[in-house]
C-alpha cells in the first residue's frame, strides 16, 4: 500500500496558468469597479436622488465593491506567485537530482 504523495508538475503548471488567467480577469474587474465608483449615477437633482447617488458611488468605491475586488485580486496574486515559485523550485530540484543520477551512472560505468 502506497501512502506517500505523488507530485505531478504538469498538473501544477496547468493550475499556475489557470490562476494567471483568473488574475487577469480579476484585474479587469478591479478596473471596471473603479470606473463605476468614479461615475456619479444620474438619478436627478432632488436631495433624495443626490443622496442615493452618493451612496451608490460609495458602495462601489475603495471601501465597497472596488475594495473587495482589489483585496481578492491581491490574495489571488499572492497564491499564484507562491504556487508558481513552488513549482519552479520543485522542477529545479528534480532536474538537479536527475543530473546527479546521470552523473553517478556515468562514473559507475
What is the pTM (predicted TM-score) of this model?
0.69
The closest of 74, 76, 70 to 37, measured between CA atoms, is 70
With vertex at residue 105, the alpha carbon angle to CA 101 and CA 107, rounded to the nearest 5 degrees, is: 115
Per-residue pLDDT of the chain (109 residues; tens, 9 = 90+): 567 777 787 888 888 899 999 989 998 988 888 888 888 778 888 988 888 888 888 888 888 888 899 999 999 999 999 989 988 998 899 899 989 998 888 776 6
In sign, the C-alpha dihedral spanning 79, 84, 88, 94 is positive
Domains in the chain: boundaries: 17-108
Owner of C-alpha cell 560505468: 109
Q: What backbone torsions phi and psi does residue 106 show, to the nearest 5 degrees?
A: -65, -35
With vertex at residue 30, the alpha carbon angle to CA 54 and CA 27, rounded to the nearest 5 degrees, is: 175
Amino acid at each position: 500500500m502506497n501512502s506517500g504523495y505523488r507530485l505531478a508538475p504538469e498538473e501544477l503548471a496547468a493550475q499556475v496558468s489557470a490562476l494567471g488567467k483568473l488574475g487577469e480577469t480579476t484585474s479587469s474587474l478591479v478596473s471596471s469597479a473603479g470606473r463605476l465608483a468614479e461615475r456619479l449615477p444620474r438619478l436627478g437633482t432632488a436631495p433624495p436622488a443626490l443622496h442615493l447617488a452618493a451612496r451608490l458611488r460609495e458602495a462601489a468605491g475603495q471601501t465597497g465593491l472596488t475594495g473587495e475586488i482589489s483585496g481578492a485580486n491581491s490574495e489571488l496574486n499572492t497564491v499564484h506567485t507562491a504556487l508558481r515559485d513552488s513549482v519552479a523550485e520543485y522542477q529545479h530540484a528534480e532536474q538537479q537530482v536527475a543530473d546527479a543520477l546521470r552523473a553517478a551512472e556515468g562514473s559507475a560505468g
